[in-house]
Amino acid sequence: MNGEDRQILEELLAAQTRREPVVLAVVIRDQGSVPRHAGSKMLFYGDGRTLGSVGGGEMEARVAAVAREALGDGRPRVIPYSLVDPQRGDPGVCGGNVDIYVEPYPAPNTLLILGCGHVGRALAGLGKWLGFRVVAWDDRAELATRENVVDADVVLSGTPAELLAQQAIDERTYVAVVTRNVTLDRQLLPLVVEAPAAYVGVMGSRRRWEETKRLLAADGLAAGKLDRITSPIGLELNAESPQEIAVSIMAQIIMLQRGGDGRAMSISPAAEKAAS
């Protein structure tokens, strides 16, 4: 491995450690006269920075555009380029052909757990195992500790009003509200639903959620905001223990991420007939 390759791979690992989005581009096939040959590597960062080269010029500009697309949808792709005739749109005049593999390494999704009780702790462990960046918050400082939530990457405390100042909520954030009472949910939810979270789920019975909705509506929270909230949280598993409830919640989050529908993978013909 040459020094350039080592630097690029080391920086790729460093970016992942920093949770910084990055795309790796690699020339995987070359034919004829080309500026860089198979094995040449380049990194494209989410903020526009680059490291290394796969050929320079117009071709690299096109790879950068594809890299941005790959970061957006999370999908790798192989891009063929001819370097023959710029007048017909080719990105160069070297006379050869290259295939470039583009692989995105997006920043991990964040699981924001509001409530560090039994379910919150179980969620932190499962979320971490599933590859989420786990942030746990509780207004009770004695529970919002690394000793209590050992699997969280970040543990926060403070008032509900201070939450968003401590932790931004973006389109890659999944919020699980697993607090101890309606009073706290009433303070948290107006703050959370104003942010562009991918998911906001609230733990509790249907009766508790109806009461929470009534109070939020009385506080002036618009119906459209309430519609963004999923409650009771999770898929129906008849879960009882904190660990089972955590599985239910994370199953629902994965379903939303992957576009699933929550149905059983295999249903007998008799069951299908009975359900129709």
Residue 9 lies in a domain: no
Please list the pLDDT of the chain residue by residue as tens digits (276 residues): 788 889 999 999 999 888 889 999 999 988 877 777 888 899 999 888 999 988 777 778 888 999 999 988 889 999 888 765 555 444 555 667 888 999 999 888 999 999 999 999 999 999 999 999 999 999 999 999 999 999 999 999 999 989 989 999 988 899 999 999 999 999 999 999 999 999 999 999 999 999 999 999 999 999 899 999 999 999 999 999 999 999 999 999 999 998 999 888 876 555 556 555
Domain edge (last residue) among 80, 105, 130: 105
Beta strands 22-31 and 97-105 are: antiparallel
Residue 151 lies in a domain: yes
The reply to whether 156 and 47 lie within a common domain is no
Residue 34 lies in a domain: yes
- Enumerate residues 6+ apart whose C-beta is below 8 A from 32: 94, 95, 96, 97
Region of residue 221 (phi > 0: left; psi between -120 and 50: alpha; otherwise: beta): beta
The helix-helix angle for 182-192 and 206-218 (nearest 10°) equals: 60
Domain edge (last residue) among 105, 122, 157: 105
Domain edge (last residue) among 70, 86, 105: 105
The reply to whether 194 and 250 lie within a common domain is yes
pTM of the predicted model, to two decimals? Answer: 0.77
- Tokens read off for 247: 């599985």
The reply to whether 32 and 142 lie within a common domain is no
User: What is the domain extent for residue 69?
Assistant: 16-105
Looking up residue 189, the CATH number of its domain turns out to be: 3.40.50.720
The reply to whether 245 and 156 lie within a common domain is yes
The reply to whether 148 and 251 lie within a common domain is yes
Residue 181 lies in a domain: yes
CB count in 10 Å sphere of residue 70: 22
Residue 22 lies in a domain: yes
